[in-house]
Amino acid sequence: MPKFKKVQLVLAGIFAILFFRFYHLQIYQHSKYEAKAGNNSVRKISLHAPRGIIYDRNGIPIVDNRQIYDLSVIPFDVTNQFDYQMVSNRTGVSSNELKEKIAKGKKSFHRFRPIPIKRHIDFETRSHLEENKLSLPGTIFSEFPARTYPVKAKLTHVLGYLRAVTDLTISIPNQELDYKLGDVFGFSGIERMYESILRGRDGTEFRLVDIYGIDHGVYQDNPGQQPTPGKSLNLSIDSKLQALIEDLFTGKKGAAVCMMPQSGEVLAFVSAPDYDLNSFAGPVPIELWEGWNSDLERPLINRGIQGLYPPGSTFKLIGAALAKEGGKVDKSWTVNCNGVYHLGDRDFHCWNTAGHGTVNLDKAIFQSCNIYFYHLIQKLSFNNWKVMAENFGFGAPTGIDLLGEKGGLVPGKTYMNNKYGRYGWATGNLLTFIIGQGDILVTPIQVAQMMNIIATRGNTKTPHLLLDSPSENITLSLKSTTWDFLQQATWSVVNHENGTGKAAKINGCEVHGKTGTAQNPHGENHSWFAGYLVKEGVPILSLAILVEHGGKGSVEAALISHKIFKYAQKNITL
Amino acid sequence: MLRKILLYNNLLNKIIQVPDKIVFRWGMLFPVIVLICISFITLKYTSVNSSFLSSTFTKQIVWFGMGSVVFILAQWIRIQYFQEYAYHLYGLLIILIGITYFMPVIGGSQRWIILGPVSFQPSEIGKLLLVFVIARVLADQKGNMNEIKLLLFILIMAIIPALMVFKQPDFGTAIVYGFIAIPMLYWSGIRSFYLFSVIAPFVSIISAFNIYIFSIWMGILVLVIYFNQPKITIGVSQFMVNIGCGIMSPFIWNNILYSHQKERILTLLNPAQDPHGAGYQVIQSIIAIGSGGIWGKGVGEGTQTQLRYLPVRDTDFIVSVIGEEMGLLGITVILVVFFTMLYWIIVYAGIISNRFSSLTLIGFASILFIHLAVNMGMTVGLLPVTGLPAPFLSYGGSFLLSCMLILALSTNIINHHI
């Protein structure tokens, strides 16, 4: 064979090896590398689904969405003109830190990839920065859905707030809703309770991204999926009434719960002090939350369902109901009140130290005479009293659609034996229980629920915030005369010339109620007023007002109730 | 004055010779046109984001225009000049490469001689000069010298500049310098067994890292030695040398080399070990080629290319771009036309009886071949990343010019003799 043929043959052999290597990669392993090339360049971007909007009972939006923005900078695009000071002034990020970050980014391989500077800036800040775009080369904004609260009513404790997912394993209540790091979720209130309705489903988009992270638009071969917005909610709240009550509670601590007696729909729900959900953008910043948490006024506590208070004289209605139901007393059974009652070596006082004189059950309610009840409890059974209290919903959570509700405490024999020992307690304790003091603890919503029961003669529903939601019936069968008495007595509290609840009276409608002045170990008495409003023969609003350390129930709480009734008289219809 | 002109004229006469005829050898030139067209199409889309004047596409067209002029002008060169002055030119090459050591470092190496605005890379044209000097030595020494001495002499001639450029450092060019002597030696008629003996120790060193491959290689070695029947002492010593190389190399590897030196070599051998350095480039290149399939993703549609996952896509890895966008079809076209070109050069080298000219053609073919083979082998992970561009495909003016010059001088030689 000639030499040149041999050389050509060797050459052909080497070219054949090259060809088969390419053949191997491009035909045999094609699908493997095709997938790898796809993974290289296609990025899955998630599109945030807007959360559901929350409306009040009249269709007024009380929680809406707004766009807030995350500010990022592409280091490569930053020039010497970049105004670090301006960004610093607007966002609070120190300009030195910013300079360092960008200088470092410029040197890195990922200099085309945006680095986050400040999360959750609002529209105004963004506009300011956008106006000066020329001196801020390389800045970009990405949208982030946040909540806004367009009405005057804050409704802080009902609505609750959002938090960002920082740890996928611990912090999220509804794991099945497909959360990703950085997503927000309802951490408290309605936002949490109805998270699965409000959240919606995030969409996805596939985008082509080059090696530096520069976006080259949507990937045509896979259109992704559009986000499904969260469903909206209608609350039973009347946002105007809510705003009115919030105003009345300015500077006070306490709680107010207003409901529709027949349906259990919550019309207003105030816990003071509160905090401003509009004071931050996006999820609650951790410093702010820690501030609230360490605040001695404890704004994070939802007093309406978590605040435990002695009910004071509002609880006398339980004793009265029991006395009536058992037929133990009638109008003719009277007690002489001279302001003090001696039991053993202890003195038990009436709030009216001058005494009420001769008192029957009616008068004992509307004048709120303690001495009468000291005598009455000794005619009644402790067990029956406890059962009656529980029939009126005390000692257990009402089941309102908010998390963290407390059940309070109605002491019974077992409880007393456990706490004080078998012989460590006596009739003296019972005397305090009947007037709503001592170990008894209730929440304001329980007191309001008691008013629902009285106003509807035992035919109401579980308190709830979501409008038109199915809720459980509450039925309590007592003798008709018992209901008559309770309604009559509470009417007298407000309408009798000597009634303790006179301050709550309005003209043109029938107001029922009961005042309470709860002694407590922390200072000035708590002021209670619980009652309901009857318009044209139908109960349309029940309420429980508690003002911590507000003094006499006949004053502070009754005055607030008066204003609420006035509003309701005009604006609330069934 | 007249003397001066005559002297000048004399020099010109040495270099220039009016050709009797200019025949375009289309067997060689048509492949170049195909390769250049593929290159242009590819560059057109890799440089789609740059302005018209600054795009590699436009620049490469300009360089090709200049290359065509060079091609024509080169037909007037008197090829014997290179034979007559081969040693002078070799000396000049050594001096020029030496000068680069005193030049500023550019991109981590000293390859360029910079004279004000003009800079050039002597090692580039040096490939041709080395071909001339080896062809000259082999042409001169026909039968006058002991074959082994001749072999060693040629190898030393090649290794001196190879080591010099290796120190610049320019690994790729060093490989070219080291390689081109071997086909030329074979072509000159030296016994294959001697060539084999020279290459064998290198194979021993590399194969020693795998005991099975080393065993197989030793078997081949014994067979080759046995069938060539050298003197028993030579055969045994040759065997011992190879065994020694095999044993020494793992020892040196484990005990003498520093870890960073080892890393560098390992990366050359196994790119996956260093996904962000040179290995990263090869991985992306293989993904690009593999994802291209038979027909490719279409020109300008390669995601690896257009989204810049492929590094140095205009130069070293342009074959990967072609593999991705034109598929196995494009690669096959490249392989076929390139083989055709080399095929015809070898055919002419076989026809031409003038030893110098014939050897020069083989040397030229070797230069083109080693560039393409190393470059394509690199893109598919068969060979380490060395930075050798692909002839007529990769973007780069001076390299295109020297490739065109090689073709031009080949044409010149062929026309002169046939």
For residue range B114-133, what is the model confidence (pLDDT) as tens digits? 887 777 888 889 999 999 99
For residue B335, is pLDDT > 90?
A: yes
- The nearest CA of chain B is from the CA of A219 a distance in Å of 11
CATH assignment of the domain containing A154: 3.90.1310.10
Put simply, the answer to whether A14 touches B294 (Cβ < 8 Å) is: no
End position of a domain, from candidates A173, A201, A234: A234
Return phi, psi of residue A330, to 5°. -130, -175
Put simply, the answer to whether B331 touches A22 (Cβ < 8 Å) is: yes
Put simply, the answer to whether A27 touches B294 (Cβ < 8 Å) is: yes
* Per-residue CA distances from A317 to A39, A58, B294 (Å): 72, 34, 90
Residue of chain A with shortest Cα separation from B287: A33
Q: Best residue in B281, B285, B307, B380 to probe A by mutation, most A CBs within 10 Å? A: B307
Q: ∠ CA B192-B196-B201 to the nearest 5 degrees?
A: 165
For residue range A365-418, what is the model confidence (pLDDT) as tens digits? 999 899 999 999 988 899 999 999 999 999 999 999 998 999 999 999 999 999
For residue B267, is pLDDT > 60?
A: no
Report d(CA B220, CA B250) in Å as an integer. Answer: 21
Whether pTM > 0.95 for this model: the answer is no
For residue B45, is pLDDT > 80?
A: yes
Report d(CA A367, CA B378) in Å as an integer. Answer: 101
Residues A540 and A450 in one domain: yes
Report d(CA A86, CA A499) in Å as an integer. Answer: 65
Q: Taking every pair of C-alpha atoms in chain A, what is the biggest distance, in angstroms? A: 142
Average pLDDT over residues B42-55: 80
Report d(CA B398, CA B67) in Å as an integer. Answer: 9
Say if residue B169 is preceded by a cis peptide, omega within 30 of 0: yes
Residue A8 placed within a domain: no
The closest CB to that of A26, out of B323, B346, B369, belongs to B323
For residue A14, is pLDDT > 70?
A: yes
Report d(CA A190, CA A198) in Å as an integer. Answer: 9
Q: Taking every pair of C-alpha atoms in chain B, what is the biggest distance, in angstroms? A: 74
Q: Which two tokens stand for residue A489?
A: 């007595």
CB < 8 Å to A40, chain B: 284, 287, 303-304, 307, 309
The closest CB to that of A30, out of B290, B308, B335, belongs to B290
Report d(CA A557, CA A501) in Å as an integer. Answer: 9
Residues A183 and A263 in one domain: no
Distance of alpha carbon B57 from the chain centroid: 24
Residue A92 placed within a domain: no
Average pLDDT over residues B76-91: 92
Tell me which residue of B357, B412, B342 sits closest to B139, measured CA to CA. Answer: B357
Beta strands A254-259 and A340-343: pairing type? unpaired
CATH assignment of the domain containing A534: 3.40.710.10
Residues A499 and A518 in one domain: yes
End position of a domain, from candidates A201, A234, A267: A234
For residue range A199-221, what is the model confidence (pLDDT) as tens digits? 888 888 777 777 666 677 777 66
**Which residue would you say has higher pLDDT here, B198 or B365?**
B365
Put simply, the answer to whether A15 touches B338 (Cβ < 8 Å) is: yes
Q: Which residues of A touch B (CB under 8 A)?
A: 2-4, 7-8, 11-12, 14-15, 17-19, 21-23, 25-27, 29-30, 32-34, 36-38, 40-41, 208-212, 216
Residues A398 and A276 in one domain: yes
Query: Count of A–B CB contacts within 8 Å?
Result: 114
Residue A572: predicted pLDDT: 85
For residue A448, is pLDDT > 90?
A: yes
Residues A323 and A412 in one domain: yes
For residue A353, is pLDDT > 90?
A: no
End position of a domain, from candidates A234, A251, A266: A234
Domain of A68, in residue numbers: 45-74+105-234
For residue range A464-523, what is the model confidence (pLDDT) as tens digits? 999 988 888 999 999 999 999 999 999 999 999 889 999 999 998 999 999 999 988 888
Residue A82 placed within a domain: no
For residue range A106-130, what is the model confidence (pLDDT) as tens digits? 877 667 777 888 888 888 888 888 8
The DSSP code for A28 is: I
Q: Which two tokens stand for residue B201?
A: 């120790």
Q: Which residues of B touch A (CB under 8 A)?
A: 183, 186-187, 189, 284, 286-294, 303-304, 306-309, 323-324, 327-328, 331-332, 335, 338-339, 342-343, 346-347, 349-350, 362, 369, 373, 376-377, 380, 382
CB < 8 Å to B333, chain A: none
Q: ∠ CA B284-B288-B292 to the nearest 5 degrees?
A: 165
- The nearest CA of chain B is from the CA of A46 a distance in Å of 21
Report d(CA A320, CA A331) in Å as an integer. Answer: 12
For residue A285, is pLDDT > 80?
A: no
Q: Which two tokens stand for residue A440?
A: 């008894």
Sequence-ordered alpha helix ranges (H) in A395-479: 413-420, 427-434, 444-455
Return phi, psi of residue A457, to 5°. 55, 45
Residues A146 and A267 in one domain: no
C-beta separation of A542 from A255 below 8 A: no
Tell me which residue of A496, A88, A70 sits closest to A283, measured CA to CA. Answer: A70
The closest CB to that of B303, out of A3, A27, A41, belongs to A41
For residue A532, is pLDDT > 80?
A: yes
Of the ranges A169-173, B307-311, B337-341, the best mean pLDDT one: B337-341
Tokens 């044409």 correspond to B411
Q: Give B55's pLDDT tier (boundaries 50, 70, 90).
A: confident
The rounded mean pLDDT for chain A is 87
For residue range A358-371, what is the model confidence (pLDDT) as tens digits? 999 889 999 989 99
Report d(CA B159, CA B161) in Å as an integer. Answer: 6
| DSSP of A158-181 | HH--EEE---TTTS-S-GGG---T
Residues A305 and A192 in one domain: no
Q: Give B14's pLDDT tier (boundaries 50, 70, 90).
A: confident
Domain count, chain A: 2
**Which residue would you say has higher pLDDT here, B182 or A276?**
B182
C-beta separation of B124 from B398 below 8 A: yes
Report d(CA B288, CA A229) in Å as an integer. Answer: 40
Say if residue A114 is preceded by a cis peptide, omega within 30 of 0: no
The closest CB to that of A36, out of B287, B335, B349, belongs to B287
Say if residue A444 is preceded by a cis peptide, omega within 30 of 0: no
Put simply, the answer to whether B293 touches A26 (Cβ < 8 Å) is: yes
Residues A225 and A124 in one domain: yes
Residue A11 placed within a domain: no
Residue B278: predicted pLDDT: 54
Residue A80 placed within a domain: no
For residue range A134-192, what is the model confidence (pLDDT) as tens digits? 888 888 887 777 888 889 989 999 998 888 777 665 666 666 677 777 778 888 889 98
Residues A371 and A475 in one domain: yes
Tell me which residue of B21, B46, B18, B11 sits closest to B302, measured CA to CA. Answer: B46
Residues A397 and A471 in one domain: yes
Q: Give A68's pLDDT tier (boundaries 50, 70, 90).
A: confident
Residue A174: predicted pLDDT: 65
Average pLDDT over residues A259-263: 94
Residues A274 and A409 in one domain: yes
Residues A204 and A248 in one domain: no
Report d(CA A127, CA A118) in Å as an integer. Answer: 15
Average pLDDT over residues B224-242: 83
